[in-house]
Amino acid sequence: MKIALVGYGKMGHMLESTALSLGDEVVATIDVFAPDASVKVSAGDGAAVARAVKESGAEGVIEFTHPSSVMENIRALVPLGLPLVVGTTGWTDCEKEVAELAAKTGGTVMHSANFSIGVNLFYKIVEEASRLVSNFDEYDSAVWEMHHNQKADSPSGTALDIARRVMAGNPRKTSMVTDAFHSRPSPEQLHVSSTRCGHVPGTHTVFFDSAADTIELTHTARSRQGFASGAVHALENLKRMLDSGELSSGALYSMSDVFPGMF
């Protein structure tokens, strides 16, 4: 498969090596700053990004850039009609707009806060654990996450997705709080806290705590390799399923759509 990479930082380089190891061809690497990118573009110039992708002959696109530029890139890339996988987080409030743009232009977008297979398995484990714990009123819940100090958004999209799974499993938790508390939290509030330090690829912990004991569920990423592998496989599956008619163009998809039966 011929792939264009929008974003060629550390993640983009890992995506390239992963794609090549899986037998794909990277036909363009597009970035604002990376000196070794095949195409340099100005910040915010979505038209230049789309033009570079179109001229590359790519059959699919993976976008891993920055929350400040992701929507401009999506708006420019979706009308090309190529399968687009977006790994940048921080734009969930714009999902409705993206779905409407895909339906209007016939483009196809697949996104996830985290492409790691392990993290997506962790989502299911957390939701089931939360459902079990919800039978016992004495247990409270919380979510904590830690990432490297270069990460732009906080909490991470992964932490927010984990929190949604906790809330889905436990109907007593109806409100998510991502800021510091300045008064006693109410029982229906789920606290999601974040730490940014050093070079940590990503650690996420869910706490179920009572006066008697604490249950902790933790996912620890050792490197970005899991994210890169999942994203490339997601694009390959998305294109294959579009070609076979299993999925239709003009829609916004998730991991559960391109890995049916797994997540």
Please report, for the domain that includes residue 9, its CATH number: 3.40.50.720
Taking the CA atoms of residue 7, residue 12, residue 13 and residue 14 in that order, the dihedral angle to the nearest 10 degrees is: 180
Ordered strands of the 189-196 beta sheet: 175-177, 189-196, 140-147, 203-209, 214-220
Give yes or no: residues 105 and 122 share one domain: no
Residues 6+ apart with CB under 8 A from 122: 162, 204, 217, 219
Q: Is residue 15 part of a domain?
A: yes
Q: Per DSSP, which regions of the chain are E strands?
A: 2-6, 25-31, 39-40, 60-63, 83-86, 108-111, 140-147, 175-177, 189-196, 203-209, 214-220, 252-253
* Distance, C-alpha 254 to centroid of its chain: 9
Give yes or no: residues 137 and 174 share one domain: yes
Give the pLDDT of residue 113. 84
Q: Is residue 147 part of a domain?
A: yes
pLDDT at 263 over 80: no
Confidence of residue 240 (pLDDT cuts 50, 70, 90): very high
Q: Is residue 25 part of a domain?
A: yes
Give yes or no: residues 93 and 124 share one domain: no
Average pLDDT value for the chain: 96
List pLDDT tens digits, range 23-40: 999 999 999 999 999 999
The two structure tokens encoding residue 169:
């499993």
Give the pLDDT of residue 36. 98
State mean pLDDT over 254-259. Answer: 94
Give yes or no: residues 37 and 94 share one domain: yes
Residues 6+ apart with CB under 8 A from 234: 85, 110, 112, 115, 255, 258, 259
Give yes or no: residues 126 and 246 share one domain: no
Choose among 97, 115, 117: nearest CA to 107: 97
Q: Is residue 184 part of a domain?
A: yes
Q: What is the CATH number of the domain that holds 194?
A: 3.30.360.10
Phi, psi of 235 (to 5 degrees): -65, -45
Give yes or no: residues 124 and 197 share one domain: yes
Give the pLDDT of residue 51. 98
Q: Is residue 81 part of a domain?
A: yes
Give yes or no: residues 150 and 77 share one domain: no
pTM for the model? 0.81
Q: Whole domain around residue 130: which residue ranges?
A: 117-220
Choose among 212, 190, 199, 196: nearest CA to 126: 190
Query: Where in the sequence numbering do the catalytic residues fall?
Result: 147, 151
List pLDDT tens digits, range 162-192: 999 999 999 999 999 999 999 999 999 999 9
Give yes or no: residues 109 and 11 share one domain: yes
List pLDDT tens digits, range 90-142: 898 999 999 999 999 999 999 998 899 899 999 999 999 999 999 999 999 99
Give yes or no: residues 7 and 105 share one domain: yes
Q: How many domains does the chain have?
A: 2
**Omega prior to 155 cis, within 30 of 0:** yes
Give yes or no: residues 24 and 98 share one domain: yes
pLDDT at 43 over 90: yes
**Is residue 247 exposed (0-12), middle (13-18) or buried (19+ Cβ within 10 Å)?**
buried
Residues annotated within the binding site are 87-89, 112-115, 148, 157-158
CA–CA dist 235, 243 (Å, integer): 12
Give yes or no: residues 209 and 234 share one domain: no
Q: Is residue 263 part of a domain?
A: no
Residues annotated within the binding site for (S)-2,3,4,5-tetrahydrodipicolinate are 148, 157-158
Give the pLDDT of residue 147. 96
Give yes or no: residues 100 and 181 share one domain: no
List pLDDT tens digits, range 143-168: 999 999 999 889 998 999 999 999 99
Share of the chain above pLDDT 90, in %: 93
Q: Which of 210-214, 237-241, 259-263 has the lowest mean pLDDT?
A: 259-263
